[in-house]
Structure formats: C-alpha cells, structure tokens
Amino acid sequence: SQQGEEDPQALSIQEGENATMNCSYKTSINNLQWYRQNSGRGLVHLILIRSNEREKHSGRLRVTLDTSKKSSSLLITASRAADTASYFCAASGGTSYGKLTFGQGTILTVHP
C-alpha cells in the first residue's frame, strides 16, 4: 500500500502561474524526497528535505515539511510548459531503512 497521499491528483495551470502540490505520509521519516516523471519513464530526483528541516529551495522549487502534521508541499514558481509531468513525493527512513515509499502522484499540466 502507498504510504503517502498526494493532493491534488491532477493540476492544470497556465504558463507563468505557480503550482502547489501536497503530500501526506503515515510514519516517521528521515527525509522526504520529490521526484518528477515524464510520460511514464524514469524518475528524476528534484529535491530532498530532511526531517529536521522545515523549508528548502532549489531554483524555482520550494519544499516545506511539517513533521507534526506528517505533510509536505512542493511549490513550482513561474511554471513552464516543460514542467508538465507527474510529480511524486517519497518518504525515506523510519523503520523502512533504504526503502522509498511513494505517494500516488500529482499530474501537472502547464498550458503555454
């Protein structure tokens, strides 16, 4: 079964707008990671946030983590058509060392 739930399942926006995706997880974690997947191909690592961090930035990406609520969010600012993809959060750690537990994913469509 999936550890995480992602919200929304699908998001459709215009180029230049911001996109926010949310993720919840169930057990304790060492870190939470976000991945991107284009057209059912391999996963590309975007950003990792550790359990003792609350916010992290990388380029146009901003990730927050609230361990008390067991939730995370990914914000993509000034989105581009090339950002169109599926985005997954993955929880790492707790009792499942070495295993990533993925959410269901959010399908993001950015219209030019």
Q: Using CB under 8 A as the criterion, which residues of the chain lie in contact with another protein when the complex forms?
A: 1-2, 4, 30-31, 33, 35, 40-45, 48, 88, 92, 96-105
CB of 109 to another protein, least distance (A): 15
CB of 5 to another protein, least distance (A): 10
Q: Which is nearer to another protein, 59 or 97 (CB)?
A: 97
CB of 68 to another protein, least distance (A): 22
Q: Which is nearer to another protein, 96 or 109 (CB)?
A: 96
Q: Which is nearer to another protein, 1 or 52 (CB)?
A: 1
3-state secondary structure the chain: CCCCEEECCEEEEECCCCEEEEEECCCCCCEEEEEEECCCCCEEEEEEEECCCCEEEECCEEEEEECCCCEEEEEECCCCHHHCEEEEEEEEECCEEEEEEECCCEEEEEEC
